[in-house]
Chain A
């Protein structure tokens, strides 16, 4: 597959201008692209290489990048097309923030838990790390993910997986179960909701049903083996598996237990889903099953007919993915893909299927099923249920069209 066509080429050009060590100056007869390639020995077995380093870096040939959106750069998208497996490198985890990324000194940090508890408690970062901990590999998806292709279905073909669905990422999260802290504070059995509040300039707040705290909510301080990245909530965030990302409040400073939701701006004016019957869903927290083929995808070009592997990710906020079916004939026939281990609940799951491209046009698409029996819907089914200008939760089937010359374009939910 010919990937350098657009993204990788741009990436390497940028790497060159950023001053990668070893980048050669343009020489006569070289294209700027060739000139920008990192310099390597003709034969690496005949020369000693550089020595060990304190902090490693990617190969200068690999420059995956998040894509920031908007004038205010309040979000950035994960380059899904550049990733293998299920873990998102921490520096490529998508971002969404409402008041920038705050700088917080971990020594000054504390978390307050109060409201309907026997003992309002304050925990320092050291306190949180002292509690019995837990790690879990789980996905997080923004509920606005995919809105761009839902609202303008079929209008754009030059879109990458990153541009379509880059607001989803998977990490190994480490922390203390919120349930443990609620027991420490003596949560009242009458408490039905909790408020989570951040210490960013938006002082972000969301109300969460307390059942989630007893089920699997985590107060996370670790991500992929290291402390959280600043843009992921350093030093401490709430992490709610399977729930729309906005509710996993970052830079967490306060949790208040109550007997009703707080009706913050985010959960009323923003993260609610208008329906065609003139109502809007509120607290639509769970993310439904979804899948996306990441290879081949725009702007790839298949170099010729023959065997290719169709690869992608599938996930569900309601549990495990049980199957992913692939169609290479625009949805007429489907074949089950192979799911890579591990297949974890509420987590990206990698799927693969060998595919023989016989040349000519082909439309490929994937369809996920989760353990509740939910099947990723077509665009038409979702449209009928939600209406064309609803907000959030856009999990319909995505398709790619392989042209006769091998060029791959986004094809909405099928042609």
Chain B
């Protein structure tokens, strides 16, 4: 068997023949493979089609371009009141100094030396790349002990307040489904795609 392959590979005409046979074989394999894929892609008929209502009920995510944001609006002043009532006990007055994550600080970290300065604390103001994330997260997971209970107006207001504390929007800003995605966060352009790919070089 080994002799046969050696002969075939060293004989030019035989090699041509071998190539034709190989091509034919590959074609057959390809056809069988495509057929298998076609079968696999046909639905198995397991599960059921979702209704628009049941999708709407849990489809709560908000994307950077604003898709998913609900109707409603909120102001910085309104946000300050809600914050004092529902957030301050954990996050501290003005988003600083509480037991939970620090929310406010745009100044430190403006040089983005997070990798070399261990004292820096990442906040909404100095690190978060998208303002929509603040809406999405606050809406889904806050307040910590009553998650998912804020109304769209309350959430827009809190987002406006936190962004204003970070000096990203003015004190008279109103957040809604149009204005929020238009907010450009200071750190938006700091994020890069992962260039690690294994191999010899440690990145």
Contact = CB atoms under 8 A, between A and B. Distances in A.
Interface of A: 98-99, 112-114, 119-124, 127, 130-131, 151, 183-184, 186, 195, 197, 201-203, 205, 253-254, 256, 258, 260, 262-265, 268-269, 272, 274-276, 278-286, 288-289, 316, 318-319, 370, 372-375, 377, 381-382, 385-391
Nearest to B202: A377
A271 to B, nearest CB: 11
Contact of A373 (B113, B136, B200): B200
A282 B198 contact: no
B193 A283 contact: yes
Interface in B148-203: 148, 190-200, 202-203
B122 interface: yes
Contacts of A265: 133, 136-137, 141
B111 interface: yes
B114 to A, nearest CB: 4
- The 10 closest A-B CB pairs, nearest first, are A372-B198, A387-B115, A274-B114, A389-B118, A265-B137, A274-B115, A120-B50, A203-B140, A278-B112, A123-B47
Contact of A131 (B46, B65, B191, B202): B46
Nearest to B138: A265
A389 B120 contact: yes
A377 B198 CA distance: 12
A114 B200 CA distance: 40
Nearest to B185: A268
Given A112-B55, A151-B118, A203 B148 contact: yes
B147 interface: yes
A258 B112 CA distance: 30
B116 to A, nearest CB: 5
Interface of B is mostly: loop
Given A201-B147, A370-B198, A120 B55 contact: yes
A256 B200 contact: no
B43 interface: yes
Nearest to A289: B198
A288 B116 CA distance: 22
B190 A318 contact: no
Interface in B91-129: 111-118, 120, 122, 124, 127-129
Given A120-B49, A262-B62, A374-B199, 11 more contacts: A112-B58, A122-B49, A183-B41, A201-B147, A202-B141, A260-B63, A263-B130, A264-B137, A279-B192, A282-B129, A282-B194
A281 B194 CA distance: 5
Contacts of B130: 263, 268
A382 B114 contact: no
